[in-house]
Structure 1
Amino acid sequence: MVEKSETGEPNKINESKYPITIGSLVINEDVLGYGSHGTVVFKGTFQGRKVAVKRLLIDFYDIATKEVQLLQESDDHPNVIRYFARETTDKFMYIAIELCIASLQDIIEKQHVSLFSEIRSQIKPEKLLYQIISGIQHLHSLKIVHRDIKPQNILIAAPKKNQNHPRVLISDFGLCKKLEDNQSSFNNTIHIAAGTVGWRAPECLLLAHLNPSQTCDTSSLGSNNNTDSSSSYFKIYQSQMNSDDHPEPLRITKAIDIFSAGCVFYYVLSNGQHPFGEHFYREANIINNKYNLDSAFGGINIEAKDLIEHMIQADYRKRPSAKGIMSHPYFWSPTKRLNFLQEASDRFEIEQRDPPSPLLVLLETNASLVVSGDWYKVIDKALRDNLGKYRKYNGGSVRDLLRSLRNKKHHYQDLPDYVKEALGPIPDGFLNYFTSRFPYLLLHIYYVIVNTKVLRNDSIFASYLNPTTE
């Protein structure tokens, strides 16, 4: 609402003396932060509710109006900042949004501050990252591309009633763009790379350096042969991808948000590091696809590393969608992982074995890596002796490894105590027994299923491949 005088002109309110009252909005002098183009964020209240108030120069009225429109359209989601109201004077536009207690950058980089340290201790990384990608998925479902995903624009709010985990909110819609109904990409505005230095996708950077008359295609994107820190399974998966590598003109798509989110994922799990190195070298490294995911912090397991590597691929056509990321095994609980392996085993058991069906041939691809050479020699003697009582197993077969896992889970209560002790309790200990010895097993089965239409569409895998917003 614009405050009007009797002449129809905006009221000239004294905006140098705090608190400032405009309609139902009260702006206090406490500054929460600063943004581009003279933007300042203050504490305030709206109808008695504590809010953050974003003050933008009236010169950027059109940009601010677009931001409000996108906020109004997208804020009906638990992981997107909530919009309350806007007020306009002759100098500024004020936007009232949900007040948060910290940014992601605060809780990662300012752990010496007791408040931020306490919030950090309450957060489970997988829950935090799931909320980030859930918010991005919501925006993408509305054909909104954020274009500035970074730690400063991801805010932390207090848990809602009956919840014990802080809420994670996507904020700052100033650079967002909405695709038209028939659009899947848009031009990079006057060849300026939207976003923040060090968090922008390579296609943004390449297009930003072109003259308006120049063009660029996907062959300019860095190769995916980053051998320094790529996981063995990721390299094998890349070599098997049957994707169209014919060059096509570079486009700006939703995938720019996926790239930035991949960098944020690593930032969280490595306690503040960046996959493309130190600040001054990041953009050159991004263009050259030179990254390193070997964090000394130790918070990155094989599933997390695999997910991040897919998200930060140089070729945006090969990055997963937000929805695909939400169904990645990194986010699964031990129970869900164990049930998935068991149901996968059940599904492969119905395949013709001699000669092996095409699905079994696919399952056994790169078996040596998956079963650590010979899984029968890798398991301990207690389990090996117990397995040998009932049937013969092929130590080089992925199918037989899955079968052994499934059988022991089915008959766990009937196992001798010494075998139970070796395997550990279900689900955590039992799952860890197998995944610690065969770290690529879960990812291998997951990608065999995801990349095979008949398996991907099988109803038994629906609960694993169709993410929820839990």
Structure 2
Amino acid sequence: MDGLPEIKLEIPPTSTHPVILFVIQGNRKSLKIFLRDNDINGLFPCTELDDDITPLIAAFVYQKREIVLYLLKENGDPNVCSKTSLTPLHYIGWYNAPAICARMLLDAGVDPNGQLPQPLTPLQIANIFARDDFMKELPSAGEPVDLIQGTKPEDHSFNHKIAQTLFRLVSSGDELCSGLRDFVEFKIATPRKTNPEEVLRAFDSRMLWVGNLPSVEHAVSILKSARITSNDEVGIASTDPAVPAEASGKHNWLQISERWRGKLERLVHCLKSDESKVIRIGSIAYISDVDFRIAKGSDGTEVFLGLRGSDGQEIAIKRMSKTNYQVLKHEVELLRLPKLYDSCVVKYIDFAEHEHFGYLFLQLCEYNLEEHIRNNDGILRPEKLVHDVLDGLRALHCQGPQILHRDLKPQNVLIDVNGRARLADFGISRRLPKNQTTYHTRSAGTEGWMATETLKEDGDIRYKSSTDIQVAGMLIYFILSGGHHPFGGERYKLMSNIKKGKYKLEHVQDVVAKDLIEKMIDKEPKNRPRVEECLSHPFFWTSTKKVQYLRQVGNMKEVASRTNVNQELILMLDECAEGVLYNQWKTKFSPDLLLRADDKKKPYPENILGLLRFMRNLQEHYPDDAASVDLTSLFPHLFGCVYKFTIRQGWNLENPLKEMFKPEKTGGANRHEVEPINDEEHVGLAVQESEHTFTEPTADAKSSIGRI
């Protein structure tokens, strides 16, 4: 890492200040005392880091989560830099802090650009230390991905490393990094290439051209008119992807897939030793043999494994006969829409026509949902898959032009190598004209996975977004139940049950999940929620929001009153608890906490009403103690019990509870606009602070940053 831009490091401190020591030791009580006479955002010597740092930097570096929460609550500033001009965001990229720390800093208002005397951005430092997780997190928050400004060979090496990291993330399914990769590579390439055609050709197969942007020929003429030319004559070669490429004798392969690795190894072997078996469509190579076929449709569609020669990317090749491939061209038109680019929809790569076939090149995934559920090893959380399915549907429904999928089923939900579920197969999907909400056509879809209103005898079927919602509800039950169908039964009985709206949810125990499913599979389309309402359902709430809801319930006058208690409410709550007892809830808290928080004159009763009121007062009057207790872990069934109870009482239809059910405002398909499920598992409140391993950079790495 020699050759990085230099900054001056001061003489290292000779001893660590007590404020920093208390942070490192996790001693919040002593830290609070010392901060009475010291600036919470002041700089204090730290010999361990050879720098003067803020308490917040120390808390993040040494991963003292409870202290992080305390400092942020007390207005610790995440934008204060150390004496060597490093922000907390720089430090957590340098040291082995988890990426969720970056999310906490971003939520606290840190400037992701790190515009300080430090010549390197937090993202550039993270890349130097191979922090792919940071490369995924920071750009989504607005940090620009820029190159290191320098002229030395080492600077070019670091810039190429940035491009390689982005390429690695793209190949593993990260859409946001895809566009960033192309522009970073373009920026690297431009200073070294004077021939405009050479630059444009290098990126023509990978750039996402949106709208009526210029052709390569037109773009070259624009660059030439701007005097970006070479001494050589600029020639325009054919860009038809169906033109066979010459065998190079060498074929790159970026290994990503686990499931298909053996077959891909055989494909690479054939590329090197037996070209006679290989079919090339432009830069894409595949073998038309059943051994390399990974899927087959009833309409003659076949899906093969393939590799892209330009970068070694693994590809799924969807091939359809030209006699019936208008369906394929229709799918291409939908998948190329920019609104689907950063969403839980299978990623479009390219399209080509050949003599007998049409080809759709797609991101290679590992399994479909049916295969995953059948072979489930427990690694992927069902709740995450449910969120992905709805997030993909939101990309279709929530931004113009609205798209109706019309063929949702387990086989059309694919699981990529990162465990992300993606909607696929848009052959019979339809894009609605502007200001239109209904598509009139004959019945379409797959038996068993069709909405009630599509099973009518007459030919005029009214497809709406609510039609997709009902089938998505069936899919959610399929995921959470481990492969069961809510309408059950054999083929004839199944279709009859869908028509009648007759279902059973006996294989799902979570009452909150059941509530979501029941709303989605309602027989009446008008009663079904919109997809954005589904994603705002309490099933997806974080632990923090669930505790906030319980606090609001604890503030209701019916719960707050400890005189003239309504015994019917207690009985109804006990009924909603379904056998879970709360008559000893005080034993879940430490005696010291109870001594401080329990009412001395009139202790809280040991029933659910008493627990709710205690939780409310704990949050209201003892926030520090509340921050040290994970209430949803102590009482894992309480939220479901109370939610079921409030539905019966009608309390959710009135403020303040009603306000908590408003859908998130969303601009469309960006999955980051709705908080991922249970991120609180990583950053939420805990009974006891977790122990973390502190990993210090190597001596070489530290000396390199010391020269930054």
Matches within 5 A, 1:127-138: 127-138=384-395
Task: Name which of structure 1's ranges 34-43 and 337-346 shifts more when overlaid on structure 2.
Answer: 337-346
RMSD (Å), alpha carbons? 4.1
Instruction: State TM-score, norm by structure 1.
Output: 0.69
Residue 549 of structure 2 is matched in structure 1 by: 340
Is 1:372 equivalent to 2:372 in the alignment?
no
Residue 451 of structure 2 is matched in structure 1 by: 201
Supply the distance in 2 between the matched residues of 1:125 and 1:440 (Cα, whole angstroms). Answer: 22
Residue 146 of structure 1 is matched in structure 2 by: 405
Residue 474 of structure 2 is matched in structure 1 by: 263
Structure 1 counterpart of 2:498, from 286, 289, 295? 286
Supply the distance in 2 between the matched residues of 1:469 and 1:294 (Cα, whole angstroms). Answer: 29
Supply the distance in 2 between the matched residues of 1:351 and 1:367 (Cα, whole angstroms). Answer: 9
Contact 1:258 1:311 (8 Å CA) reproduced? yes
CA distance 1:106–1:382, change in 2 (3 Å): closer
Contact 2:349 2:361 (8 Å CA) reproduced? yes
Measured against aligned partners, the alpha-carbon deviations of 1:91-141 in whole angstroms (never above 9, x if no partner) come to 2100000000111111112x2xxxxx4xx4220111111011011011112
Residue 429 of structure 1 is matched in structure 2 by: 633
Supply the distance in 2 between the matched residues of 1:426 and 1:96 (Cα, whole angstroms). Answer: 47
Structure 2 counterpart of 1:108, from 373, 392, 395? 373
CA distance 1:432–1:454, change in 2 (3 Å): closer
Measured against aligned partners, the alpha-carbon deviations of 1:63-90 in whole angstroms (never above 9, x if no partner) come to 2211101000143124111001111123
Residue 22 of structure 1 is matched in structure 2 by: 281
Measured against aligned partners, the alpha-carbon deviations of 1:7-57 in whole angstroms (never above 9, x if no partner) come to x9x9899xxx74211212222231010113211111112333110000112
Is 1:180 equivalent to 2:386 in the alignment?
no
CA distance 1:342–1:455, change in 2 (3 Å): closer
Letter in 2 for 1:180: P
Letter in 1 for 2:437: S
3-state DSSP class of the match of 1:155? strand
CA distance 1:89–1:369, change in 2 (3 Å): farther
Letter in 2 for 1:101: E
3-state DSSP class of the match of 2:360? strand
Report the CA distance between 1:452 and its aligned residue: 4.3
Sequence identity, in percent?
29
Residue 86 of structure 1 is matched in structure 2 by: 351
Matches within 5 A, 1:105-254: 105-109=370-374, 111=375, 117=376, 120-142=377-399, 143-159=402-418, 166-187=419-440, 189=441, 191=442, 193-206=443-456, 209-211=457-459, 251-254=462-465
Matches within 5 A, 1:294-313: 294-295=506-507, 299-313=508-522
Supply the distance in 1 between the matched residues of 2:624 and 2:281 (Cα, whole angstroms). Answer: 72
Letter in 2 for 1:139: L
Measured against aligned partners, the alpha-carbon deviations of 1:148-205 in whole angstroms (never above 9, x if no partner) come to 111111111112xxxxxx1111111111101111111111x2x2x2111101001011
Letter in 1 for 2:314: K
Letter in 2 for 1:104: L
3-state DSSP class of the match of 2:324? helix
Report the CA distance between 1:330 and its aligned residue: 1.2
Contact 1:435 1:442 (8 Å CA) reproduced? no
Report the CA distance between 1:405 and its aligned residue: 2.9
Report the CA distance between 1:256 and its aligned residue: 1.4
3-state DSSP class of the match of 2:522? coil
Report the CA distance between 1:329 and its aligned residue: 1.2
Report the CA distance between 1:368 and its aligned residue: 6.3
Report the CA distance between 1:62 and its aligned residue: 2.5
Matches within 5 A, 1:50-69: 50-69=314-333
Unaligned 5+ runs, structure 2? 1-204, 206-237, 246-275, 588-593, 667-672, 677-708
Structure 2 counterpart of 1:404, from 575, 594, 614? 614
CA distance 1:195–1:408, change in 2 (3 Å): same
Unaligned 5+ runs, structure 1? 112-116, 160-165, 213-249, 354-363
Supply the distance in 1 between the matched residues of 2:545 and 2:664 (Cα, whole angstroms). Answer: 8
Instruction: State TM-score, norm by structure 2.
Output: 0.47
Is 1:35 equivalent to 2:244 in the alignment?
no
Report the CA distance between 1:271 and its aligned residue: 1.0
Report the CA distance between 1:268 and its aligned residue: 1.2
Contact 1:269 1:300 (8 Å CA) reproduced? no
CA distance 1:291–1:169, change in 2 (3 Å): same
Report the CA distance between 1:59 and its aligned residue: 2.0
CA distance 1:211–1:338, change in 2 (3 Å): closer
3-state DSSP class of the match of 2:427? coil
Contact 1:79 1:169 (8 Å CA) reproduced? yes
CA distance 1:373–1:94, change in 2 (3 Å): closer
Letter in 2 for 1:316: P
3-state DSSP class of the match of 1:121? coil
